[in-house]
C-alpha cells in the first residue's frame, strides 16, 4: 500500500514537472519573440517665416566739444525716428539707448599721435517688431539716412539684426505626428525586408526641436527640425 502511494506521488510529481516545463518553455518562447525589435528615426522639417525682428541701428559722431556732441547725437536720434515712422514702423516698436561716449585723450599713452577728435559717441536705436516685411524694407533703404549725414558703425557683431520664430507651440503637434509616421514607414520597410510585421511601440523618445536660419542670406526664413527615435516590436 505504501509502495503504491509512493508510486502515485512520483507519477504526480513527474507530470507536474513536465507540465511546468512545458508552460515555462512556451513563456520563454513568447518572451524571446518580444525581444525582436527595430529602432528607427523619423524626421520632420518645416520652413517658416520669422515672426519677430530685432534691428539695432548704431550710428556714430565725433567731435572735440562734448556738449555739442550730445546735441548732435540728439539730432541723429530724431532723424532715425522720423525715418522709421515714415517707413511704417510705429513709435511703440522703437527704443533708444543712452549714447556711449569715449574720450580718446584719456586712453592715450605716451608718444601716441594726438587724435583729430577727442570724443567719439555711439548711439543705438533698436526696432523690435513683428512686421518683418516692413522692417526689411526700411533696412534696404537705410542709405537715405546716410545721405542726411549719419555715419553707421559700432560693434557690428554686437549690433547684428536678429530674427526669431516664436510660433513653435502651434506647429509642434503636427511635426511630432509627421516624425512618428515617418518612423513607422521606415520600420515597416525594414519589417518587409525581413519577412516580419511591425508590432507595438516598445519605447519612444522625442528629440529636441531646433530652429536655424535657412541660409546666411535669408535669416528671416527659419528651418524647424525634430527627430523622433522609436523602437518597435517585430512579429512573424
pTM for the complete prediction?
A: 0.75
Q: 163, 188, 205: which is the final residue of a domain?
A: 163
Q: 136, 163, 190: which is the final residue of a domain?
A: 163
User: Is 14 within the bounds of a domain?
Assistant: no
CA dihedral 163, 167, 168, 173 (to 10 degrees): -160
- 172 and 133 in one domain? no
Query: Contact, 81 vs 94, CB < 8 A?
Result: yes
Q: What is the CATH number of the domain that holds 102?
A: 3.30.70.2970
pLDDT category at 83 given cuts 50, 70, 90 is very high
- 222 and 136 in one domain? no
User: Is 19 within the bounds of a domain?
Assistant: no
- 89 and 56 in one domain? yes
> Which residue range(s) make up the domain with 65?
52-163
Task: Give the CA angle between residues 43, 45, 51 to the nearest 5°.
Answer: 150
- 96 and 181 in one domain? no
Of 114-118, 124-128, 129-133, 145-149, minimum mean pLDDT range? 114-118
Q: How many domains does the chain have?
A: 2
- Taking only the tens place, the pLDDT of each residue in 86-123 is 999 999 999 998 888 988 876 655 555 666 888 899 99
Q: 163, 186, 212: which is the final residue of a domain?
A: 163
- 149 and 66 in one domain? yes
Q: What is the CATH number of the domain that holds 207?
A: 3.30.110.170
- Taking only the tens place, the pLDDT of each residue in 141-179 is 989 988 998 888 755 677 889 999 999 999 999 999 999
pLDDT greater at residue 38 or residue 45: 45
Whether residue 49 is predicted with pLDDT greater than 50 in this model: the reply is yes
Phi and psi at residue 174, to the nearest 5°: -65, -35
User: Is 17 within the bounds of a domain?
Assistant: no
d(CA 76, CA 117): 18
Amino acid at each position: 500500500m505504501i509502495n503504491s502511494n509512493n508510486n502515485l506521488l512520483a507519477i504526480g510529481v513527474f507530470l507536474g514537472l513536465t507540465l511546468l516545463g512545458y508552460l515555462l518553455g512556451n513563456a520563454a518562447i513568447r518572451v524571446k519573440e518580444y525581444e525582436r525589435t527595430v529602432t528607427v528615426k523619423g524626421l520632420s522639417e518645416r520652413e517658416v517665416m520669422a515672426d519677430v525682428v530685432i534691428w539695432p541701428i548704431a550710428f556714430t559722431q565725433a567731435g572735440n566739444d562734448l556738449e555739442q556732441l550730445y546735441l548732435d547725437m540728439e539730432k541723429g536720434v530724431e532723424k532715425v525716428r522720423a525715418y522709421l515712422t515714415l517707413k511704417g514702423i510705429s513709435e511703440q516698436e522703437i527704443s533708444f539707448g543712452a549714447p556711449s561716449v569715449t574720450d580718446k585723450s584719456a586712453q592715450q599713452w605716451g608718444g601716441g599721435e594726438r587724435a583729430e577728435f577727442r570724443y567719439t559717441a555711439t548711439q543705438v536705436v533698436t526696432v523690435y517688431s513683428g512686421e518683418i516685411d516692413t522692417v526689411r524694407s526700411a533696412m534696404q533703404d537705410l542709405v537715405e539716412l546716410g545721405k542726411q549725414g549719419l555715419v553707421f558703425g559700432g560693434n557690428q557683431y554686437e549690433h547684428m539684426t536678429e530674427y526669431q520664430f516664436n510660433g513653435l507651440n502651434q506647429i509642434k503637434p503636427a511635426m511630432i505626428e509627421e516624425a512618428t509616421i515617418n518612423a513607422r514607414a521606415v520600420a515597416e520597410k525594414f519589417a518587409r525586408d525581413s519577412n516580419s510585421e511591425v508590432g507595438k511601440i516598445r519605447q519612444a523618445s522625442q528629440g529636441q526641436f531646433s530652429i536655424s536660419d535657412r541660409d546666411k542670406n535669408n535669416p528671416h526664413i527659419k528651418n524647424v527640425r525634430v527627430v523622433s527615435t522609436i523602437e518597435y516590436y517585430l512579429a512573424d
